[in-house]
Chain A
Amino acid sequence: NAGVTQTPKFQVLKTGQSMTLQCAQDMNHNSMYWYRQDPGMGLRLIYYSASEGTTDKGEVPNGYNVSRLNKREFSLRLESAAPSQTSVYFCASKAGRTIPGELFFGEGSRLTVL
């Protein structure tokens, strides 16, 4: 029972490099989310996708792009990484449009930008 799978789990980038974080869920969920977790700040929403084909900005979207490839997959791209994007990134999914707050999270992707 995989749930939400994120790759890679760890990544080190140099400033200006680009990379894509991959996320896939096998629970047939409609909605998917990308959060970042920073010490002392909790989790903050970067982007979300209500359903296949739609994406919307969250609280901290600057410097990121997303793609909802299909119902299962939701990727997060950093076009030109900056040290301020050093963080732990979590992908999450949610079943229905009428179920508040019950998110299922992946194990996280730890990104360091030098």
Chain B
Amino acid sequence: AQSVTQLDSQVPVFEEAPVELRCNYSSSVSVYLFWYVQYPNQGLQLLLKYLSGSTLVKGINGFEAEFNKSQTSFHLRKPSVHISDTAEYFCAVNPSNAGGTSYGKLTFGQGTILTVHP
């Protein structure tokens, strides 16, 4: 079984400041890692994913995340945030040996609400 812990439930920042949203996971097998974003009153959309290869992954809207296998972390970063980045962010994992239909059975973290102030 897998578990995901997002270390901050809420992160307030000022516009144009850098931000890091932290995600740690626990798993007995290798995993694929994802960050999803949920804007107010909308469904979730994929921000970025790590499947293999380079541990630094770039996503949409200027976000990036770094996979650290030894620390079992997948922290999300953005060097300069905008008001429009205000949303809830979810880290999720999927066992890499799951295969087929299990590729949609994600284990999500609790979510981090990012609020960007002017």
Contact = CB atoms under 8 A, between A and B. Distances in A.
Interface in B75-118: 90, 92, 94, 96, 98-101, 103-106, 108-111
Contacts of B29: none
Interface of B is mostly: mixed
Interface residues of A, number: 29
Contacts of A98: 100, 103
Given A40-B110, A42-B109, A58-B105, A102 B100 contact: no
Contacts of A99: 103
Interface stretch (A14-22, A43-51, A64-72, A78-86): A43-51
A4 B111 contact: no
A74 to B, nearest CB: 12
A2 to B, nearest CB: 12
Contacts, number: 78
A101 B94 CA distance: 7
B65 interface: no
Contacts of A42: 4, 6, 90, 108-111
Contact of A103 (B4, B42, B106): B106
B93 to A, nearest CB: 8
A104 to B, nearest CB: 8
Interface of A: 4, 31, 33, 40-45, 48, 50-51, 56, 58, 90, 92, 94, 97-108
The list of the 4 closest CB pairs from A to B, nearest first, reads: A105-B43, A50-B101, A42-B108, A100-B103
